[in-house]
Amino acid sequence: MDHSEIKKLAHLARLEIRPDALDEVAERISNVLTLVDQLQALDTDHVAPMAHPLDAVQRLRADVVTEPDCRAAYQAIAPATENGLYLVPKVID
């Protein structure tokens, strides 16, 4: 992994990597990818991917309201709110 690949990956993950840490991050992520690359030698031609160990499927429920209004409780722990809305920096000029 070179620096540009790491920077692209960091952006996808919405993370920032300090320029002086790029080498170290690249090396360690490369080590992990070398480990997982062992999978490529495995023959999986006729194998179905496993999504749930017990092959469970999504349960359905009656279409009724089950959630109470918890807005005040949830917003009480937010970094910044106003009039029941979450505040973020200006996104439209």
Site membership for another protein, residue 13 (CB under 8 A): yes
Near another protein in 61-80, by CB under 8 A: 61, 70, 73-74, 76-80
35, 62, 64, 65: which one binds another protein (CB under 8 A): 35
The runs of H, that is alpha helices, within 1-93 are 3-12, 22-36, 71-75
Tokens of 12: 């996808």
Site membership for another protein, residue 50 (CB under 8 A): yes
4, 19, 20, 42: which one binds another protein (CB under 8 A): 42
Q: Position of tokens 């990818």?
A: 33
CB of 65 to another protein, least distance (A): 15
DSSP 50: P
- Give the list of residues 6+ apart from residue 5 with CB closer than 8 angstroms, or none: 26
- Give the list of residues 6+ apart from residue 87 with CB closer than 8 angstroms, or none: 79, 80, 81
Query: Which residues here bind another protein, judged by CB under 8 A?
Result: 6, 9-10, 12-17, 24-25, 28-29, 31-40, 42, 44, 47-54, 56, 58-59, 61, 70, 73-74, 76-80, 86, 88-91
